[in-house]
Structure 1
Amino acid sequence: MIRTSLLIPVSACLLLAACAGTMHRSDMMSAPMPVADAIKVPDGHKLAMQTVGVGELRYECRAKANTTDQFEWAFVGPTATLNDRSGKAVGKYYGPPATWESMDGSKVTATQVAVAPGGDGNIPHQLVKANPAVGSGMMSGVTYIQRVATKGGVAPAAACSAANRGAAQTVRYQADYLFWKASA
Structure 2
Amino acid sequence: MKRISMALAVGSMVLLGGATACASTGGGATAAGAGVKPVAQTAGGQPEIVEVPAAVKVPGAARHIGTYQGRGVQIYGCTNGAWTLVQPAAIISDGGKPIALHSKGPVWTSTVDGSTVAATAVPGAAVQHPDAVPELLLKADTTSGKGLFANVTFVQRLNTKGGLAPKGACAAGDQTATPYTADYAFWAAN
Instruction: Place the TM-score, normalised by the shorter chain, in its bin.
Output: 0.7 to 0.9
Give the Å deviation of 1:25.
6.2
Contact 2:155/2:186 (8 A) holds in 1: yes
Letter in 1 for 2:71: V
Stretches of structure 1 that go unaligned for 5 or more consecutive residues are 1-23, 64-70
Query: Between Structure 1 and Structure 2, which shows a larger proportion of helix residues?
Result: 1
Residues 155 and 27 of structure 1, relative CA distance in 2, 3 Å threshold: closer
Q: Does 1:132 align with 2:113?
A: no
Alignment equivalent of 2:96, drawn from 84, 87, 103:
87
Corresponding position of 1:98? 106
User: Matches of residues 15-34 of structure 1 in structure 2 within 5 Å?
Assistant: 26=23, 31-32=37-38, 33-34=50-51
| TM-score, normalised relative to structure 2 | 0.72
SS at match of 2:114: coil
SS at match of 2:143: coil
Contact 1:122/1:151 (8 A) holds in 2: yes
Corresponding position of 1:144? 154
Letter in 2 for 1:75: L
Q: Percent identity?
A: 35
Contact 1:132/1:141 (8 A) holds in 2: no
How many pairs were matched up?
A: 147
Give the Å deviation of 1:167.
0.5
Query: Between Structure 1 and Structure 2, which shows a larger proportion of strand residues?
Result: 2
Residues 26 and 139 of structure 1, relative CA distance in 2, 3 Å threshold: closer
SS at match of 1:133: strand
Write the deviation string for residues 95-144 of structure 1: whole angstroms up to 9, x where unpaired.
Answer: 1x211011210001111102112x33110000000123111110011000
Alignment equivalent of 2:53, drawn from 36, 45, 64:
36
Aligned CA-pair RMSD? 2.1
Letter in 1 for 2:98: A
Residues 106 and 123 of structure 1, relative CA distance in 2, 3 Å threshold: same
Give the Å deviation of 1:28.
9.6
Question: 4+ runs of 1 displaced by more than 4 Å?
Answer: 24-30
SS at match of 2:150: coil
CA distance in 2, matches of 1:51, 1:177: 5
